[in-house]
Amino acid sequence: MAITKKDLAADMIIFSKMTLKQKENYLQKEYKMVFANSRKLSSSVKKASEAHRNALRVMVVRQLMED
């Protein structure tokens, strides 16, 4: 889902009407959400690379058992 210029314009209008404290809270929530998503992605990548290493180990062991 792409963000359009219309979406950005609406966000700018809303943001311009916020008080400084509201802007601060909004930005903190956004930062936390982005940081949490980043951590989840990092965790997924770590799990995937671990699964790949385990699969390689299994292949090596099978090859050694055949020899």
Q: What count of other Cβ atoms lies within 10 Å of the Cβ of residue 67?
A: 5
pTM, entire model: 0.44
Which residues, other chains included, contact 26 with Cβ-Cβ below 8 Å and sequence gap of 6+? 15, 18
Task: Please state the domain extents for the chain.
Answer: 23-67
Query: pLDDT (tens digit, 9 = 90+) per residue, 14-63?
Result: 888 989 999 899 889 888 888 888 888 888 888 889 888 889 899 988 88
pLDDT number for residue 22: 92
Exposure of 36 by Cβ count < 10 A (0-12 exposed, 13-18 middle, 19+ buried)?
exposed
pLDDT at position 11 over 80: yes
Picking from 34, 33, 11, the residue whose alpha carbon sits closest to that of residue 23 is 11
pLDDT at position 1 over 80: no
